[in-house]
Amino acid sequence: METKKFIDESNLYIMNTYKRFPIVLRKGRGMKVWSTDGKEYLDFVGGVAVNILGHCHPKVVIAIQKQAQRLLHVSNYYHIGPQIRLAKLLVQHTFADKVFFCNSGAEANEAAIKLARKYSKENVNPDRFEIITAELSQRLLQQDRRNFKRDLNLSYRVSSMSLLMMLML
């Protein structure tokens, strides 16, 4: 009955933006997860590709515990050693000369737009700064519901970019 209570409360307080599986997860280890009613499952979703290392890997748990004893979240207004070391590794092993760390798709879109404009201004033509998006793109994307998550993400990205374009032009 605990599962039903959780799901009922979830339906009461959390927006129904996508269909959830009718289980309530209690714990995880590796790729296995256990529900509140004791059933074991294999998690093929991996936090929608965010948690690809599995659940509660001992090395990840220790790293998180150590970091939580130092700092949990630091604004980009400050310099921090781990971020600098990661940036150095990325520059040394990729095409990039510098990296940009952000914590949301909106920040990533804004940075991509600004970088595209900067590149165009410096390397193509200073008068070519406008970015064009399709009018009514969100409505057109919503017509295809076979893959709701893909559509929702793409629709959000296009809508966000359209809004940013209006604000920046």
Q: 146 pLDDT exceeds 70?
A: no
Q: Across all residues in the chain, what is the average pLDDT?
A: 79
Q: 151 pLDDT exceeds 50?
A: no
**What is the pLDDT at residue 23?**
92
Task: Give whole-number Cα distances, 56 to 21, 33, 70, in Å.
Answer: 21, 10, 20
Q: Is 143 helix (H, G, I), strand (E, B) or coil?
A: coil
pLDDT in tens, 79-125: 999 899 999 999 999 998 999 888 777 888 888 888 888 888 899 98
**What is the pLDDT at residue 163?**
42
**What is the pLDDT at residue 142?**
52
Average pLDDT over residues 44-71: 84
pLDDT in tens, 156-168: 454 444 444 434 4
Q: 35 pLDDT exceeds 90?
A: yes
Strand order in the sheet with 25-29: 25-29, 32-35, 40-42
- For 73, the token pair is 């979240």
Residue 85 neighbours by CB distance under 10 Å: 10
pLDDT in tens, 2-17: 899 999 999 999 888 7
